[in-house]
Chain A
Amino acid sequence: MMWWLIAKSIAKTFTLILLTTATIYLVARAFPGDPITVLYGEQPISDEVRKAVESRLGLDKPLYLQILIYWRRVFTGDWGVSTFFAKPVFQVVFQSFINSLKLAVSATVLTTLVCVLLAYLSMAKGFKMLSSVFPTLSSSMPAAVWGVVLMVFAAYLKIPIGFGSMSMPLLTLVVAGTGVFYRILQSLLEKTFSEPFVEMYKAFGMSIEKIFLKALRYAMPVYLTATFYRMGLIIAGAMATEVIFAYPGMGLLLVQAFSSRDYPVLIGWTTIVSVTLSVLNMVSDILHIYMDPRLRGVV
């Protein structure tokens, strides 16, 4: 049962990725300008070269065949040549992607830890004030604006900012993310604490710390889904933060590619971000199946 559900989820994601890349291709074909420049970058254009490239990209074939050829190129990593960096697109995008991934993963893990700590302090230890003021403050500004605020602080306090290093964007993302994540976690935990099984544990005389852990275990699947649900907005914020601190990730790459009208990189960028988003969706689905026994039909 569980494996069947997981296989279904993977198949769905794969279809979605195919459809999304096709959409991106079609939108990019509508851009003004020569499709070879848009999709493959500047070439030393002589007629033979142009003919060769055209037939290689299948531009002389009907549209549905072009999409098939494009899919093959996407999956074989033949993403064209960047017009701005003069390097293969895949290489350029992948490097930034790894940098962004490092930042995003550390930020998510750190933020979740901070949120769990705050929830523990407020629910098990009774520090209500601390855990209501900080999240309100945090969610009053988007990540990008928090980045600017931290930068102003640093400017007034004469603290040197390491542009291009990970520390400042990480700090910004954690500070800005805590509010959103905490609100989700808190409402879930509050709901959990009113469930009958918590009453039962209380009646058993279980310590509040242990009950908190049980409640956390119960709330985690929905928490994960809820955070994945907002992933689009979180990624948007993370990219703007990267640009502010000149961190060499996907955000900075996008700005460079857009300002130099580097279409091949733009398309590659969009492809990799869409694939990441759909894979994240899939992972949250599978985690959900794994963590919630009811979905597997076990209970």
Chain B
Amino acid sequence: MNIWTKISIVVLVVEAFLAAFPQLFSHYSPTTIDLTNRLAPPSIAHFLGTDTLGRDVFIRLLYAIRYSFTVASFSLVLSLSIGLLMGSLSAIVGGFADSMLSTLFNILYIIPGFFIAIALSILIGSGLTTTSIVIGLSLAPIFYRLCRSAAKEILTQPYIEAAKALGASTNWIIFRYVGKELFYIALTTAIFLLSDAIAFEASLSILGLGVQPPTPTLGNMIAEYKEYVFTSPHLLIYPVMVIATTIASLNTLANEVGKKLNVLMKNSLL
């Protein structure tokens, strides 16, 4: 573990703590507008100043980290469960079910995430849940393909043969060998994709298809403040810095985990 990995872990832990208890650090609300106090410079009262509507930037940033992380983790849990379940099913059952599921996930892969975002926001309304589902569905094919090919490879390993020869039941083989190994592989990929999920949320919000204002997320803050880039560019620096440090830390950590676990996919697609 080198120095950068340690720094990354510290950054992520601090962010997680700030995001978990935002009210410990500031008594402002992230959505209260105070038009008499617009664009205040940083001070004791407002650590990072206030924005164009007089809202405290610091508390908004804390809540943004909180919501962005929530959306990213929820979407990963969703896509991981879908991909793991369907991918292993596909590999184990094979035949017709396999080709049906493969086609289904190919369609899901090809339909752009933005269309899923729009369709869901029209059908069930936009919000944190909708955005999580959108990102989850967009990432699910990646997990599906990974788990399917990994499960197929595991099933051809000699130790599976050995287990069969020793009289292990199919259920035992699936849960004890395939399931366990797949879970580690999928989990490592999930760490890799966590930064992609955060990036995807930012892209969605910048296009106005993500979580709607005034709920702060990292992408939302960028989307709102980029309108004032020529008059007050400093507002943009805070969310951009947070995104950059978060994603860089997550990538460093993911590389370290990937090296440690030395999983099948390490050299393949990520």
A residues with CB within 8 A of B: 16, 19-20, 23-24, 27-28, 30-32, 136, 139-145, 148-149, 151-152, 155-156, 187-188, 191, 226, 229, 232-233, 235-237, 239-240, 243-244, 251, 254-255, 258-259, 266, 269-270, 273-274, 277-278, 281
What is the count of residue pairs linking A and B with beta-carbon distances less than 8 angstroms?
131
Select from chain A the residue with minimum beta-carbon distance to B209: A258
In the complex, what distance in Å separates the CA atom of A111 from the CA atom of B178?
A: 39
Task: Indicate if B14 sits at the interface (CB-CB under 8 A).
Answer: no
Interface 1/0s, chain B 46-87, versus A by CB < 8 A? 000000000000000000000000000000000000000000
Are A266 and B115 CB-contacts (below 8 A) given A31-B123, A148-B226, A239-B203?
yes
Minimum Cβ distance to chain A for residue B124 (Å):
11
Partner of A232, one of B109, B122, B244, B248: B109
Are A148 and B203 CB-contacts (below 8 A) given A191-B267, A229-B269?
no
In the complex, what distance in Å separates the CA atom of A141 from the CA atom of B118?
A: 24
Please tell me if the beta carbons of B247 and A19 are within 8 angstroms of each other in the complex: no
For B233, list chain A residues within 8 Å (CB).
Answer: 152, 155-156
Please tell me if the beta carbons of B248 and A140 are within 8 angstroms of each other in the complex: yes
Select from chain A the residue with minimum beta-carbon distance to B226: A148
* B contact face: mostly helix, strand, loop, or mixed: helix
Partner of B112, one of A28, A30, A151, A274: A274
Please tell me if the beta carbons of B247 and A141 are within 8 angstroms of each other in the complex: yes
Task: Indicate if B222 sits at the interface (CB-CB under 8 A).
Answer: yes
Minimum Cβ distance to chain A for residue B238 (Å):
11
For B110, list chain A residues within 8 Å (CB).
Answer: 16, 20, 274, 277-278, 281
Minimum Cβ distance to chain B for residue A220 (Å):
15
Please tell me if the beta carbons of B243 and A145 are within 8 angstroms of each other in the complex: yes
In the complex, what distance in Å separates the CA atom of A237 from the CA atom of B237?
A: 19
In the complex, what distance in Å separates the CA atom of A25 from the CA atom of B233?
A: 43
Task: Indicate if B236 sits at the interface (CB-CB under 8 A).
Answer: yes
Task: Indicate if B90 sits at the interface (CB-CB under 8 A).
Answer: no
- Among the 9-residue stretches B22-30, B158-166, B194-202, the one with 4 or more Cβ atoms under 8 Å from chain A is B194-202
Minimum Cβ distance to chain B for residue A146 (Å):
9
Partner of B240, one of A136, A141, A226, A244: A141
Task: Indicate if B103 sits at the interface (CB-CB under 8 A).
Answer: yes
Please tell me if the beta carbons of B244 and A140 are within 8 angstroms of each other in the complex: yes
Are A244 and B243 CB-contacts (below 8 A) given A237-B199, A239-B114, A278-B110?
no
Minimum Cβ distance to chain B for residue A219 (Å):
11
B residues with CB within 8 A of A: 103, 106-107, 109-115, 118-119, 122-123, 138, 196, 199-200, 202-204, 206-209, 219, 222, 226, 229-230, 233, 236-237, 240, 243-245, 247-248, 251, 267-269
For A139, list chain B residues within 8 Å (CB).
Answer: 247-248, 251
Please tell me if the beta carbons of B229 and A20 are within 8 angstroms of each other in the complex: no
* A contact face: mostly helix, strand, loop, or mixed: helix
Are A266 and B118 CB-contacts (below 8 A) given A31-B123, A232-B113?
yes
Residue in B106, B196, B207 whose Cβ sees the most chain A Cβ within 10 Å: B207
For A140, list chain B residues within 8 Å (CB).
Answer: 244-245, 247-248, 251
In the complex, what distance in Å separates the CA atom of A143 from the CA atom of B247?
A: 12
Give me 8 other A-B pairs in contact (C-beta within 8 A), A31-B119, A235-B112, A266-B118 excluded: A16-B110, A30-B123, A32-B122, A140-B245, A141-B247, A188-B267, A229-B269, A236-B113
For A24, list chain B residues within 8 Å (CB).
Answer: 111, 115
Select from chain B the residue with minimum beta-carbon distance to A270: B115
Residue in B115, B196, B202, B236 whose Cβ sees the most chain A Cβ within 10 Å: B115
Please tell me if the beta carbons of B203 and A19 are within 8 angstroms of each other in the complex: no
Please tell me if the beta carbons of A240 and B269 are within 8 angstroms of each other in the complex: no
Are A239 and B237 CB-contacts (below 8 A) given A140-B247, A232-B109?
no
In the complex, what distance in Å separates the CA atom of A255 from the CA atom of B206?
A: 10
Partner of A244, one of B107, B109, B226, B268: B226
Q: Which 7 A-B pairs have the closest CB atoms?
A: A142-B199, A140-B248, A240-B203, A270-B115, A240-B206, A140-B244, A152-B233
Minimum Cβ distance to chain B for residue A257 (Å):
9
Please tell me if the beta carbons of A233 and B123 are within 8 angstroms of each other in the complex: no
Are A19 and B107 CB-contacts (below 8 A) given A239-B203, A277-B112?
yes
Please tell me if the beta carbons of A251 and B207 are within 8 angstroms of each other in the complex: yes
Residue in A16, A191, A270, A278 whose Cβ sees the most chain B Cβ within 10 Å: A270
In the complex, what distance in Å separates the CA atom of A188 from the CA atom of B269?
A: 10
Select from chain A the residue with minimum beta-carbon distance to B111: A274
For B109, list chain A residues within 8 Å (CB).
Answer: 232, 277
Minimum Cβ distance to chain B for residue A186 (Å):
11
For A235, list chain B residues within 8 Å (CB).
Answer: 112
For B204, list chain A residues within 8 Å (CB).
Answer: 236
